[in-house]
Structure formats: C-alpha cells, structure tokens
Amino acid sequence: MENMRELRNYVVPEIIYGVETHGLAGQYAGRLGIGTVLVVSDPGVDSAGWMGKVMDSLAAAGIVAVPFLAVTSNPKDHEIMAGVEAYRRAGCDGIIAVGGGSPIDCAKGIGIVCSNGGHILDYEGVDKVPRPIPPLVCIPSTAGSAADVSRFAIITDTDGLRKVAIVSTSVVADLALIDPTLTTTMDPNLTACTGMDTLTHAIEAYVSSSGSPFTDLHALQAARSVAFHLLAAIDDPSSVTARNGMMFASTQAGLAFSNAGLGAVHAMAHSLGGLLDSPHGDCNAYLLQHVVAYNYVSSPVRYREIGQALGFDLHGCTDEVVCEALVEGIGRFRSAVGIKGSLASQGVRPEQLTILAQKALLDACMATNPRRPTVGEIEAIYTAAL
C-alpha cells in the first residue's frame, strides 16, 4: 500500500514502430504543421542513404527541408549553437532528427535554445527547460541510445571536458518513427557498442531509486531481449529478426530509463566521455560490471532478477554467489560482443581518476543510483575498471 501511495509520472512520445516507418516523415511532419524543417543528421547516416530517403518523403509532402549534418559523436555545445543559427537563418518551424543518439541529442539541444534563448549549457540539470521546444520528430538509426523516446539530452561541454545531462519533459519528441531496418547498416562494432548501452539502460532503470511497475516491465524485458538478440545481430547484421529484437529492446529500455532515471554507470561514463570523446556505449561497457559489484548490496533481489533475465542459473545461490555470477557474466558478455580491454587500454591514466570521480558525482544521473557513493568510492570503481 505504501508503494501505491507514491505518485508516478510516466511520459512517452507518440511512437510508430515498424518497417518503412521512416517513409512517413513527410506525412507526419505535415500533421504537426511544419512548413520548413531542419533535418539534423550526420555524415555516416547520410552516406548510408537514410537521410536522403527522409528528405524525399518531406519533399513529396511539400515541406521545405534544410539539412544540418555538422554533428559529431558526443554532440558538442558549439555544434548545437551552429544548428540554432541554421534553424533561425532558414526560418524553420520544426526539427527532424535522423540518426543515433548524437544527432537526436543535438536536435533536442537546438530546439531548447531556439525556444528558450541563451546557450545550451544554461539548461544543465533536471527540469531546467521552461518552454517547450519546436515540433520534433525522431527517426533512430541505431538500437542503443533510445534518445528518440527519452526526456534526456546529453551534450558535451567542450571547454569543461565533460558531458552535461539535460533532463526535461520539454525535450520529449512529439513523434518517434522507429524502423528497425535502419539498423541493418550498422557495423558490428557500432552494434555492440549501442547494444551494451541498451543493456546498461535496462539494468540501471531496474535498480533505480525512482523505478516503478511501469518502468520495471520494460527494463526487465529489454535485458532479456539484449541477452537473446545482440550476438545474433552482430553475427548476422542483415537478420531482420535480430535487428528488430534489438531495436525493440532499445525502445523498451528507453521508456524505462526516461521515466525511472539511470545511475552511476551513466554518470561515470559521461565523465569519461567528456574527457576522452569516446563512444558512450563503450564507456558504459567498461564500467557496468564494476558498478554492479558496488551497487549489489543495495538491491540484491533486483540484481538477482536481472541475472535471471540474462539467463544465468541462480537457483538456490547465496547473494554472494549471485553477485559474483552477475559481475563475471556481464564481463564475459562484453568480451563476447567484442568490447575487450579496460579503461587503461582506452588511454585513461591513474592520475585522472580523482577529477573523473568528482565530475561523475555531480552528474544528474547519479541522483537515482540505488547507493549513494562518495568521491573515493567512485574513484575505486574507476580503478577496478582500469
């Protein structure tokens, strides 16, 4: 009964899921009243042909499309501000993002500044975006970030060498057109990287201090799906079954973490990504098992359920054995998908760990971690992953 008295907020965009949904971009942009749209993507998505197909759909609907491709991995504050200039210069009244987490987060950042003014870094934190952004349609091309369904935007502060989290219902897209066929052009490394991001979203949402029955359902099923489909998607990139399984897992994990929050893995990965400009999914993968080892004592029942969802036989095992099995199993899974080595192999040095820990502790994602770490404890987790 106590849990039933807790108020829960659950926010999702309109979602249209299925093969060829990207071809509906023009139709639905028109329904949103968009006349001139900034189409945010990156050169990789453009070269794969997905950007062009969306542009064709917009042209067929009589919508003026203005391409903006100046987006890199881990979208930078200056890229957002350049996008704002492009939006205003063309007189746009809506935004479409085509791509993975970087173009989608960049599009959200552009929308924030276009509606609210100032600089994108002014909006760091939770519920700091007062005005809704312009109409936004997201078309994801990766199965990992789930930025298309989330209330998060992650932006790199280039001067501070850190990532900032902007968390607000104002950045939830009006529409997500989710087409699993777009992920068939992902290479094995990107598939693995984004897949580990999905797994991390699922696990962190399930043990989050702000979780609920609404988010638990999505989180646990997403973990099951990653365990079942990720290796198959890497081994056979053209498998529609595997790609659909991973895209649906990404969507479910996104619905979970967007409403439950994340935790120490993401807070620490954001700190790492700001320093190294490394792929976000890789940063998560190097840290996940070590954060699980630290967090386990706070949520042993939930971590046991995660282990079972991942297919581990834990019947009759003590908590100590379950923790060891889960930590080792995640490590084996990471290696199996091709993400090997350690933070040291990525160029992290021991003398950098204190500042990394200090930045991670201030990240908005740390607020919903099930255990409250100190700077020293975060540094110890980094050391274990080194």
Q: Is the pLDDT of residue 323 over 70?
A: yes
What pLDDT, on a 0 to 100 scale, did the predictor assign at position 9? 80
Residue 154 zone, left/alpha/beta (φ > 0; ψ -120 to 50; rest): beta
The number of folded domains in the chain is: 2
Q: Are residues 245 and 153 in the same domain?
A: no
Q: How confident is the model at residue 3 (pLDDT cuts 50, 70, 90)?
A: low
Domain finish residue from 183, 205, 230? 183
Q: How confident is the model at residue 1 (pLDDT cuts 50, 70, 90)?
A: very low
**What is the pLDDT averaged over residues 64-83?**
97
Structural domain containing residue 241: 186-385
Q: Are residues 166 and 268 in the same domain?
A: no
Please give the Cα distance from 92 to 244 (Å, whole number). 33
Q: Are residues 114 and 194 in the same domain?
A: no
What pLDDT, on a 0 to 100 scale, did the predictor assign at position 356? 96
- CATH number for 84: 3.40.50.1970
Q: How confident is the model at residue 101 (pLDDT cuts 50, 70, 90)?
A: very high
- Please state whether beta strands 152-157 and 162-167 pair in parallel, antiparallel, or not at all (unpaired): antiparallel
What pLDDT, on a 0 to 100 scale, did the predictor assign at position 27? 97
Q: Is the pLDDT of residue 138 over 60?
A: yes
SS3 content of the chain, % helix, strand, coil (to 5): 60, 10, 30
What pLDDT, on a 0 to 100 scale, did the predictor assign at position 47? 97
Q: How confident is the model at residue 203 (pLDDT cuts 50, 70, 90)?
A: very high
Domain finish residue from 183, 218, 237? 183
**What is the pLDDT averaged over residues 117-144?**
97
Cβ pair 289, 196 in contact under 8 A: no
Q: Are residues 221 and 362 in the same domain?
A: yes
Cβ pair 142, 98 in contact under 8 A: no
Q: Is the pLDDT of residue 8 over 80?
A: no
Tokens of 7: 């108020």
Within 143-279, residue ranges assigned H as helices are: 188-207, 213-235, 240-260, 264-276
Q: Are residues 166 and 206 in the same domain?
A: no
**Per-residue pLDDT reduced to its tens digit, 275-316:** 888 889 999 999 999 999 999 999 999 999 999 999 999 999
Q: Are residues 239 and 357 in the same domain?
A: yes
Comparing CA positions, the residue from 232, 75, 90 lying closest to residue 145 is: 75
Q: How confident is the model at residue 4 (pLDDT cuts 50, 70, 90)?
A: low
Q: Are residues 123 and 224 in the same domain?
A: no
Q: Are residues 171 and 241 in the same domain?
A: no
Please give the Cα distance from 95 to 173 (Å, whole number). 10
- CATH number for 359: 1.20.1090.10
Q: Are residues 143 and 89 in the same domain?
A: yes
Q: Are residues 166 and 286 in the same domain?
A: no
Q: Are residues 154 and 109 in the same domain?
A: yes
Domain finish residue from 155, 183, 211? 183
Please give the Cα distance from 383 to 247 (Å, whole number). 33
**Per-residue pLDDT reduced to its tens digit, 247-265:** 999 999 999 999 999 999 9
Cβ pair 263, 204 in contact under 8 A: yes
Q: Are residues 170 and 216 in the same domain?
A: no
1 against 348, higher pLDDT: 348
